[in-house]
Amino acid sequence: MKRLAVSADGPAAWESWRDAFARVAPDLPTISWFDPAFDPADASYALVWEPPVGEMARMANMRVILSTGAGVNHLVNRPDFPADVPLVRMGGDQTAVLMADYVMWAAIGLLRGARRWARDQEKHLWCNRPILRNSAETRVGVLGFGNLGAAVARRLAATGFIVSAWCRTPREEKQIPLFFGEEGLSDFLPSVDILVNLLPSTPHTRHIIDAELLSRLKPGADFINVGRGDHVVEDDLLAALASGQLDSAVLDVVATEPLSAESPLWDHPRITLTPHMASEASREAQAAYVAHVIRELEEGRAPPLLYRPDRGY
């Protein structure tokens, strides 16, 4: 039985998921996880984002759990996560293109001082500032060269930025210079003008962006965080902005979401905030990707974006 039970985004989202699956995968049987008549024994697959507390334990007999997010740290760290059930992360072209669009927007905005222009306009200030660098003179360093990091790096390079990336596993890569592991990080950081974080949140990467790492960037570098908020020591980020070691930051993710009303990040003149929406594909695109993964699984193929507990991502 290849039925998919949809829990993602709660009971209110069920009808829009049902309609999306009906449009893109009419042959895939679906049911709401919250349907009073639903019995977990009647489904093989569950689609989740942040299921209610305790609910994941009821997914222990699923063949596979699929996440509507590419980051799954919030699921695998829960006490009710059934560790024996394979977990597949969200992928698909639209997710990668949206992320590349966002980072392009953020990088160009940083280059041209978009936040300063917006603030000047609010104050009716006509203030012409010199442009320090163009894209061809700017090195973007991407932390993470996975599904999204690689898509972002390739798009930035195609647009004319100088790009390098850092990841864990040594390998050949023709287009983007790659740096690996701790030693590679020391070579990677000092030439970076704009640092982009696209790492997964794992015990090894949590709080990786701290005062020490920031001090190794070029003085006056910029920072774009599209990974997870817990990668960053927020006090260290604010201190680096205050000292001028960092010029500006664009943050799509923060340690506590939604950001508390009292956070100093809201009003910082050199921080641009967006509400964790860098790369949220449409319902149809997500449903099409999920249906594709289920087809692959039913035909005995392993999906590429399988969470690996040994690596933590």
* Binding-site member from 202, 210, 265, 296 for ligand NDP (CB under 6 A): 202
Q: Is 92 a binder of ligand NDP (CB under 6 A)?
A: no
* Residue 226 in the binding site for ligand NDP (CB under 6 A): yes
The minimum distance between CB 94 and ligand NDP, in angstroms, equals 12
- Closest approach of ligand NDP to the CB of residue 307, in Å: 9
Q: Specify the 3-state DSSP secondary structure of 162.
A: strand
- Residue number, 54 or 275, with CB nearest to ligand NDP: 275
Q: What is the rounded distance in angstroms from the CA atom of residue 3 to the CA atom of residue 46?
A: 9
- Among residues 28 and 151, whose Cβ is nearest to ligand NDP? 151
Nearest C-alpha neighbor of 212 from the set 191, 239, 192, 179: 239
Residue 172, both tokens: 């050949």
Span from 75-83, 209-217, 271-279, 290-298 in contact with ligand NDP (CB under 6 A): 271-279
**Angle, vertex CA 159, rays to CA 155 and CA 162, nearest 5:** 90
Q: 228 catalytic, yes or no? A: yes
Q: Which residues of 274-313 are buried (b: 16+ CB within 10 A; e: fewer)?
A: eebebbbbebbbbbbbbbebbeebeeeeebebebeeeebb
Identified binder of ligand NDP from the candidate list 164, 201, 248, 286, rule CB under 6 A: 201
Asked if 163 interacts with ligand NDP (CB under 6 A), we say no
By C-beta, is 139 or 276 nearer to ligand NDP? 276
Q: Give the neighbor-by-neighbor strand order of the sheet with 4-6.
A: 30-32, 4-6, 45-48, 64-67, 87-88
Q: Is 23 a catalytic residue?
A: no
Q: Which of residues 245-264 bind ligand NDP (CB under 6 A)?
A: 252-253
Query: Residue 107 interacts with ligand NDP (CB under 6 A)?
Result: no
Contact status: 32 vs ligand NDP (CB under 6 A):
no
* Residue whose CB is less far from ligand NDP, 51 or 227: 227
| Residue 204 engages ligand NDP in binding (rule: CB under 6 A) | yes
252-261 long-range contacts, CB within 8 A, separation 24+: 252/102, 252/224, 252/225, 252/226, 252/276, 252/277, 252/278, 253/225, 253/226, 253/227, 253/228, 253/229, 254/229, 255/229, 255/230, 256/229, 257/229
Assess 113 for contact with ligand NDP (CB under 6 A): no
Interacting residues toward ligand NDP by CB under 6 A: 70-71, 144-149, 166-169, 198-202, 204-205, 226-228, 252-253, 276, 278-279, 313
Active site residues: 228, 276
